[in-house]
Amino acid sequence: MGIPVSILLIAAGAILAFAITGTTNGVNIHAVGWILMAAGLLGLVLSLILWDSWAGGGFWNRRPVAYDPPPQRGPRRRVVREDVDEGPY
């Protein structure tokens, strides 16, 4: 179950639990709404945890990343340019 399906279940459950005022024989619509909201919330939490673990280790498993150090540069050379006035053109 992905994040969109979880959000859809939460929304459908909220509609059934809070917006429907009718009653039926044999099925409690409000209880079904609460069950759908709980299932959607559980699916959302599990999706976020699994998505975090698939995305590269997650927050809890952070490890230092090995990288190459920047290349060493030689001594800096200073270039001096002088403007020479060669007279009128």
pLDDT tens by residue, 1-26: 688 999 999 999 999 999 998 888 99
pTM equals 0.58
Q: How far apart are CA 23 and CA 57, in angstroms?
A: 48
Residue 66 has pLDDT above 80, yes or no: no
Range with the poorest average pLDDT among 19-23, 25-29, 61-65, 71-75: 61-65
- Are residues 37 and 13 in contact, defined by beta-carbon separation less than 8 angstroms? yes
Confidence (pLDDT) at 11: 96
Confidence (pLDDT) at 72: 76
State the distance between the two ends of the chain, measured CA to CA, in whole angstroms.
82
Sorted by where each begins, the domain ranges of the chain are 3-54
Confidence (pLDDT) at 52: 62
